[in-house]
Structure 1
Amino acid sequence: MNGKWFAATLVLVGVSSFLAGRQTGSLRDDAVLRELEQVRSRLDTLATRDPVTARPDPATAPTVDTTRLSAELAQVLREELARASVTARPAPTPAPAPAEPTPQATRAHQQARQLLDDAVRARRWTTEDALAFRRALVDMTPTQRDEVIRRLVTSINSQSLDVQTQGAPF
């Protein structure tokens, strides 16, 4: 008997909950529908208005003196351009032509080139070669130094030289 009462109670609670939910949803739906109808009527009113009458009255609208604004804008532009030309960096001066290498730099360059030629023929770059190369680099001009270093690195990268040094190759 208790089981029947329990089952009947469950069914009764379920049905009453369902009906209460439907009633609440219906009230919410009605409110939303009323609000949508109000919005639609406002939109219809705005759509049917004459566009000429919808504009603000020129007598009450604020006026703008375009001549004065143009003059002010032109003045600001002139000031900014003048300020920009004053703060602009001057044209860079060309770098001085590299000076002629000294006889000592020319000898060091020739020694380094000869050292590289000998190493490429032997297909190895030793610690002694690296020390002699470093000593020669000290006396060269930057252009000469760049040229022999580029040649050494190219020879190493193309595997024309087997680097057998302790540490850096130069």
Structure 2
Amino acid sequence: MQSHIKLLLLVTGGLGCALSFLAGRATAPESSHDELLRLLARQGEQLEALETRLGPASQQMRCAVAAPAGAPGLDAAWLQAELARILHEELGSQRAEEKGPRTPAPEPSTESLMGLQEGHRLLDEASRSQRWREEDAQAMRRAMRELNGAQREELRRRFAVFVNAGGVDVQVNGPPF
């Protein structure tokens, strides 16, 4: 009895597969290899036209470094020597700049020092109150007008440390200063 059921299931499965295949073939759209071949041929023609239009320019390669006169190709030893010469010149010019007289950094102006003090005072106050308000941001903008780049960076870093440590709640819409 079990062998008849297995045989019946096997035959039914095979018929189901065959019917599915035939149904798929019957409902498949008409496909023509001719259209595909025409498209491939047209693409081949376009590639050939592009190749002829580019011509010898696509087959030539030029080196940006001028080879020594009379050399048929690029000489590796010459290139190495040329690179060594260029590096030597560049390093020599950098060393000369380093040995030259250094001008001391200009002293910060009184306004700059006052602006820096005001910025630190604002940050200290924000640290105590644990909030950075719109009024603080406006006051910091006014103070930063007088500062040089290093002083501005000092205040920005200090502000970032406060905020990143979670010690200051920024209550400003837009940039903090």
Please give the TM-score of this superposition, normalised by the length of structure 2: 0.47
Answer with 1 or 2: which has the greater Rg. Answer: 1
